[in-house]
Amino acid sequence: MLEEDVNLEVPRNNTFRQTQHLDAQVEEDLNRRRQEVADVAQQEYGTLRFKIDGNVVPLQVEIRSLKEILNLPNIDLNGVVNSEREAVPQPEEDMEGEDHAGDDQ
């Protein structure tokens, strides 16, 4: 046990600063990996709400299994909906349709 009148000081040498820097890098890496695991779990499972005996109960469901049951493709459908589309430029002048020219009769 330490006496109360002892002053503890954090070392200020290069070795200690390097150790603090390495500790910070390890912590950042661990946080990044935890976030990646959480992101994968979020992608793999979704929450569905069911009403059981009048109470709404949230249940975690594996997305892949749900897609399989509903006969949906196992692809990320959000990527298709959220993709940006390039605007098709309007023609400078209207053209006569040659393919159906004789259909007016």
pLDDT at 84: 62
Q: Which of 47, 85, 89 is nearest to 66 (CA)?
A: 47
> Is the pLDDT score of 104 beyond 80?
no
Cα-to-chain-centroid distance, residue 60:
17
pLDDT at 78: 60
pLDDT at 26: 93
